[in-house]
Structure 1
């Protein structure tokens, strides 16, 4: 995983970091991540937010591919390689209702939660930027679109012939 630019490469290609990136993330040091109260303005985000956590990381990345979400436009997206989860930051109050009834494997972190976030350019193994927020405010992932993309990606996967 290198800094992801909109090169036409799929988001799903970032499930497994290459050796160099993996070594950098594993040995990032103490200040590569910070525990932050969800909703508090921090770093480049600068506005109140909540987080949608999608298990597994591959499933979340497949949904980003369905969305065709540009990686270089400041959508704050975090990979937690230790738990194999995608974390998408959304505008505060936008995701709770959208994901109240599923799909399974998705949870919303609101103001009563804490989240490990990357600091600096890369972050660490448990919280690495896939797409960093831009200075002066971020574009947030739309939770309704993310939900539909998850369902669409799952339907495509279910319809695909298995290769056994």
Structure 2
């Protein structure tokens, strides 16, 4: 048996050229995919930072709005004026809580004895809580999120002073 050999130099040059061009294209493909992957990851990181910043700003604005709502309600004369019955006050604050997206409002005295402004009117002591201490110093204070022991939902508490 005879081995077949390529007798033409043109064919050898074409095969060599094809292999060199294929090798160059393969190297370019590998390099471009590595660079594209890095650029894509950088873009994703940048986008995530922008989204996180925007979300944090929106959340901060919403929290500020919630604090403002509570301050406005604390200044409402229905809270301190004895001419309003307790039923009227409770109905008012329950309606405001529902409309503004709050679970409930409550008030406490100077000793920290509190009462929910709901028809159930639970009583409790908040004298050891930071939001109460800050409110007693004339400041509005918002707690970090925590889990409500009664409902199991995530809640935050806004404490602000009210004056009689």
Q: TM-score, normalised by structure 1?
A: 0.22
More helix per residue: 1 or 2? 2
Is the radius of gyration larger for structure 1 or structure 2? Answer: 2
Which structure would you say has the larger RCO, counting Cα contacts within 8 Å and 6 or more residues apart? 1
More strand per residue: 1 or 2? 1
